[in-house]
């Protein structure tokens, strides 16, 4: 299934029905008078957050949504039928913005939460409403009001507690598969993971928390290199970021330089993102070689106050301590 997390759409609420111009014409009623009914209101357009969806794929293939218009009023004081409301289901975590201004209209972060995106037009009044002592046969009625129409941008930001970041092949997918039931593709080439992956972790006495594996960043991501910044929005809601750094003897480059490159890309994406709590995990401990890279990264983190965890997701070494730490941080953030 394709992972679609940004879609432009057009929504149009239903127009109100026209009021009716009509007069009673019945046997033995010589002065019948006006009896035109009112038009019905149109349908509203709602968005509703549901857990059963995890992508905006369905909306991508239907980008215009129009609610039903109200029926026109009828004679004998009959009211036109109201138009049906249109409810558009979206994943929990969907942000709704004005397309042109970028103004945030609503953030749907709770299952069942609804937002009225476009309000319908009211139905027009029939001519029965306009009868007076001096105007006993009004030959006019109100037209229905037009429903609102808007161009919107829907943006999905996954609801995760911990965001995994790091260069391609840093071991993010291996870690999330080791600590949760998520099963992302794992291979020894860059960009194996092409879309964000969520895993639910249940560790000891902590409430379960959600980890998001974000596809690998590389230097120059802000210019579109690699997968660019397109998935970084999914770590904006997290309690803490976990930066994975490969310290194996086969890893290319210096671990400290690799760490700083990714941090620079985060800062270029959003200065607010680098203010989030950040921990560092040195991965692939089982093939660390002489340990020089591990020692260098550990000293760097100690000097700058980063919490540091050496681990090997394959053997499980260090993962228990890491999960305990992450669970405490998530609980602390929620409190």
Average pLDDT over residues 108-126: 94
Residue bearing the bigger pLDDT, 3 or 31: 31
Q: Which residues contact 253 (CB under 8 A, 6 or more apart)?
A: none
Provide the pLDDT for residue 158: 78
Q: Name the pairing type of β-strands 278-283 and 307-310.
A: parallel
Provide the pLDDT for residue 221: 60
Give dist(CA 69, CA 324) in Å, integer: 56
> Which residues pair with residue 253 across a beta bridge?
none
Average pLDDT over residues 34-48: 95
Give dist(CA 126, CA 39) in Å, integer: 7
Would you give the end-to-end CA distance of the chain in angstroms?
36
Instruction: Give the count of alpha carbons within 13 A of 9, CB side only.
Output: 27
- pLDDT(275) > 80: yes
210 — pLDDT class (breaks 50, 70, 90): confident
Mean pLDDT comparison of 35-44, 198-207, 278-287, 310-319, highest-scoring range? 35-44
Provide the pLDDT for residue 1: 41
Domain architecture of the chain: domains with CATH: 6-156 (2.70.210.12), 162-334 (3.40.50.300)
Angle between helices 319-334 and 172-179 (to 10 degrees): 80
Average pLDDT over residues 312-320: 89
Tell me the pTM: 0.72
Provide the pLDDT for residue 84: 96
Residue bearing the bigger pLDDT, 215 or 245: 245
Interval 181-209: pLDDT, tens = 766 666 565 555 566 777 778 777 667 78
59 — pLDDT class (breaks 50, 70, 90): confident
Interval 131-178: pLDDT, tens = 988 888 899 999 999 999 999 999 888 778 888 888 888 888 888 888
Give dist(CA 144, CA 16) in Å, integer: 4
Give dist(CA 10, CA 130) in Å, integer: 37
- pLDDT(49) > 90: yes
Residue 175's alpha-carbon distances to 181, 216, 235, in angstroms, are 11, 14, 17
Interval 64-75: pLDDT, tens = 999 999 999 999
Q: Which residues contact 82 (CB under 8 A, 6 or more apart)?
A: 40, 41, 42, 43, 70, 71, 123
Provide the pLDDT for residue 3: 64
- Which residue spans within the chain are E strands per DSSP? 6-12, 45-50, 64-66, 86-91, 94-98, 104-108, 114-118, 149-156, 162-165, 197-201, 209-213, 240-246, 278-283, 307-310
Query: Percent of the chain at pLDDT above 90?
Result: 42
Judge contact between 57 and 74, C-beta under 8 A: no
Among 178, 138, 126, 149, which residue's Cα sits nearest to residue 314? 178
Residue 279's alpha-carbon distances to 44, 74, 97, 161, in angstroms, are 46, 68, 32, 13
Helix (H) / strand (E) containing 146: none
């Amino acid at each position: 299934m394709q992972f679609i997390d940004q879609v432009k759409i057009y929504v149009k609420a239903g127009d109100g029905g026209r009021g009716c111009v009509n007069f009673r014409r019945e046997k033995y009623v010589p002065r019948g008078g006006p009896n035109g009914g009112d038009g019905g209101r149109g349908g509203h357009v709602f968005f509703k957050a549901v857990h059963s969806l995890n992508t905006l794929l369905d909306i991508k293939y239907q980008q215009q949504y129009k609610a039903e218009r109200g029926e026109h009023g009828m004679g004998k004081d009959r009211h036109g039928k109201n138009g049906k409301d249109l409810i558009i289901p979206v994943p929990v975590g969907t942000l709704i913005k004005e397309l042109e201004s970028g103004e945030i209209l609503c953030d749907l972060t709770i299952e069942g939460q609804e937002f009225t995106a476009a309000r319908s037009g009211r139905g027009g009044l029939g001519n029965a409403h306009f009868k007076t002592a001096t105007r006993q046969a009004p030959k006019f009625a109100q037209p229905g009001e037009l429903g609102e129409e808007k161009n919107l941008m829907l943006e999905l930001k996954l609801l995760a507690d911990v965001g995994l970041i790091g260069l391609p092949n840093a071991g993010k997918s291996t870690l999330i598969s080791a600590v949760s039931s998520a099963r992302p593709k794992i291979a020894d080439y860059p960009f194996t993971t092409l879309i964000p992956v969520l895993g639910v972790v249940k560790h000891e006495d902590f409430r379960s928390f959600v980890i998001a594996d974000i596809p690998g960043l590389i230097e120059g991501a802000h210019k579109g290199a690699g997968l660019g910044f397109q998935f970084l929005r999914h770590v904006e809601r997290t309690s803490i970021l976990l930066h994975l750094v490969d310290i194996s003897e086969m890893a290319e480059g210096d671990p400290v330089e690799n760490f700083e490159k990714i941090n620079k890309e985060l800062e270029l994406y959003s200065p607010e993102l680098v203010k989030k709590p950040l921990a560092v995990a040195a991965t692939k401990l089982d093939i660390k070689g002489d340990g020089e890279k591990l020692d260098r990264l550990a000293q760097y983190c100690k000097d700058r106050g980063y919490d540091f965890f050496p681990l090997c997701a394959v053997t499980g070494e260090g993962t228990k301590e890491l999960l305990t730490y992450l669970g405490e941080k998530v609980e602390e953030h929620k409190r």
